[in-house]
Amino acid sequence: MTTEYVVMNEEAPDLSVIKRAGRIIKEGGLVAFPTETVYGLGGDALNPESSRKIYEAKGRPSDNPLIVHICRLEDIEPIVREIPPEAKKLAEAFWPGPLTMIFRKSSLVPKETTGGLDTVAVRFPSNKIAQALIDAAGGYIAAPSANRSGRPSPTLAKYCLEDLDGRVEMIIDGGQVGIGLESTIIDLTEDEPVILRPGFINKKMLQEVLGRVEVDSTLITPDSGIAPKAPGMKYRHYAPKGELVIIEGERDKVVSEINRAAGYNRAHGLRTGVICTDETRDLYDADCVKSAGPRGDEDSVARELFRILREFDDDGAERIYSESFSGGELGQAIMNRLMKAAGHRVVRTDEGETLHFK
């Protein structure tokens, strides 16, 4: 299959291309497209064959459910069994936007789309290209992130091309995404609303609308051995090819620990990558030093993280060290991704921990 690559401006989507892309999806094909969170790999959510193709194109395990994207509030009714009052409140506050809600599904949604579950994840994205495409495709697009399974989610269309060239009919390039982390997922099918995946819409924002909100316990203690409720969270994600370790603690200690490691690596012929901030970038002596932006600008850190992780692969970084980005409004969402990328390897310099070299 040849993949058609089209550049599009979100402010003025080319409707003839959108119409053609919509037809591709209606006929069972796949189109990668921009959303405000990350790029999505879209197929017809109500066609089991399309969902099978999505899993195949991504190389994704088929028990890992897809998110159904809609472009009108009223389109939710046919695909769910009931709409809890919490969902109405959340939709009013955060849709269109980077929030995914889990509902009990109706029979219209095939099990292929939900990874065999009786529940369905639904999101109404705010990106104008995404909205136009969903409409042109008949109203329901199943779309996971448009990366090969295990790789960082694409925040630029060129990464969709890198991962999916020859595997999808079309890629729509709408520029760099605004948020850069996948949507927040909240489960509304239990007694209490539960956050299954942290994102731009954080716990505090959700609590302001709903009152009580729980966080899935596997997000807090990831090594508990309990399976996370969002099936995708159990898979290793976002991993760069090099080994990534997070170095926590006071700035000077972090810098000197990373520089010590970089020196060791250099002496042993290994390339070192560093994820840092504008404030610290000049303090490092390593092969590939990448700043995610000013430390106070969490939006920048979120937006740049996946790009940086991918770039280390191109740079051939073999040992990668990252400063920590906890705290702040987006800290939980950023650290959730970074910890997964690091396979939960953390060195806490404040507690006297140091890196062990081998």
50 binds Mg ion (CB under 5 A): no
The nearest distance, CB 345 to Mg ion, in angstroms, is 21
155 binds Mg ion (CB under 5 A): no
336 binds ligand AMP (CB under 6 A): no
Options 34, 65, 110, 193; binder of ligand AMP; rule CB under 6 A? 65
Dihedral, CA of residue 34, residue 38, residue 40 and residue 45, to nearest 10? -110
Site string for Mg ion, 102-141 (x = CB under 5 A): ----------------------------------------
67 binds ligand AMP (CB under 6 A): yes
The residues in 129-148 that bind ligand AMP, with binding defined as CB under 6 A, are 144-145
Site string for ligand AMP, 152-191 (x = CB under 6 A): ------------------------------x--x------
- Whose Cβ is closer to Mg ion: residue 131's or residue 145's? 145
- Whose Cβ is closer to ligand AMP: residue 29's or residue 40's? 40
The residues in 225-254 that bind ligand AMP, with binding defined as CB under 6 A, are 229-233
Round the CA-based radius of gyration of the chain to a whole number and report it. 20
Stated length of the chain: 358
64 binds ligand AMP (CB under 6 A): yes
120 binds, among ligand AMP, Mg ion, none (CB under 5 to 8 A by kind): ligand AMP
Options 70, 79, 121, 186; binder of ligand AMP; rule CB under 6 A? 121
195 binds ligand AMP (CB under 6 A): no
Piece of 64-72, 256-264, 296-304, 340-348 that binds ligand AMP (CB under 6 A): 64-72
Options 131, 145, 184, 332; binder of Mg ion; rule CB under 5 A? 145
Cβ burial of 188 (10 Å; 0-12, 13-18, 19+) is buried
Whole-number Å distance between alpha carbons of 298 and 167: 34
Residues in contact with ligand AMP, counted by CB under 6 A, come to a total of: 19
The nearest distance, CB 261 to ligand AMP, in angstroms, is 32
State both tokens at 127: 């990106």
The nearest distance, CB 14 to ligand AMP, in angstroms, is 25
Q: Point out which residues bind Mg ion (CB under 5 A).
A: 145
Q: Point out which residues bind ligand AMP (CB under 6 A).
A: 64-65, 67, 102, 114, 117, 119-121, 144-145, 182, 185, 196, 229-233
